[in-house]
Amino acid sequence: MIIDLLKHSLRSFKRQRAYIVINILGLAIGIACSLLITLYVINEAGYDRFNEKKDRLYRVILNGKIGSQTITGAFTPAVMGPTLPREFPEVEDFLRMNGMGPTTVEYEQQIFTDNDIIEADSSFFNFFTIPVIKGDPKNLLNSPHKVVLSETTARKIFGNEDPVDKLLKIGSDSIRYVVSGIMKDVPSNSHFDASMVTSFMTNPRSKDDIWLNNSFGLYLLLKKNSNPATVDARFNELIVKYVGPEVQKFMGTTIEEFLKRGNIYRFYLQKLTDIH
């Protein structure tokens, strides 16, 4: 019986070889595509979820319109970061972060351009779960002219040599930074990449107190059980208190009149896991 079935199957295969091969290939391609799509969805949905404090982390977004000019994005004034914990009891900590763009790096005879250098406050490692290989996370970025290298970058520049306390020239002004530590590479499913992290306070604009000068990214760590909607609602108070006087000074009108004319100036929170 089984032998007869096998003979019948072989005869059918010989007669319909092309049809059967096409069906098998189609099934294999379908399964492969399904697996790839599933892996893609899992990867996309997993962005930034490696961060242990992800449920309390938010990025501040500016939505503005002045005349015909509009702006929406992660742009805030440098002064907003240290102000928010004083004004909003829901805010536990802040982190200002900024990409430096294509930047020249020099070490001895090596000169190259790096596109993934960021500058950040010393709270960087309190916000993002990126393991530190060498150095104390609390002290890595706590003073000017410090830089933390990713594991790959440290190996690229120094090979097997210990880079800690070595000096790098970074940027067009050839500012010297001391290597304060090494961190694991930023995971690929993070909304940002960082080959190096320099101390934010090295940037002279870190002390800028102009509220209308929106130049930096700002992240907030909210206290446990805090409601982000409460923070969103209170941003209007902040704008009236701090942005209002500058609108009066630079534009010759009150913040109320400015907004009545159809202009928009508001901040709101974006959940970390919603960024990507």
pLDDT tens string 219-273: 999 999 999 999 999 999 999 999 999 999 999 999 999 999 999 999 999 999 9
Q: Which residue has the tokens 């530190």?
A: 132
Burial class (CB in 10 A: 0-12, 13-18, 19+), 43: exposed
Per-residue pLDDT of 27-56, as tens digits, reads: 667 666 565 554 454 455 567 999 999 999
**What CA–CA distances, in Å, run from 39 to 42, 45, 135?**
5, 10, 35
pLDDT surpassing 70 at residue 11: no
Query: What span, in angstroms and rounded, lies between the C-alpha atoms of 1 and 100?
Result: 75
Contact criterion met (CB below 8 Å) for 127 and 53: yes
Burial class (CB in 10 A: 0-12, 13-18, 19+), 149: buried
The crossing angle, in degrees rounded to 10, of helices 80-87 and 228-238 is 110
pTM: 0.85
Domain ranges of the chain: 2-45
Q: Which pLDDT score, from 0 to 100, does residue 39 have?
A: 43
pLDDT surpassing 70 at residue 206: yes
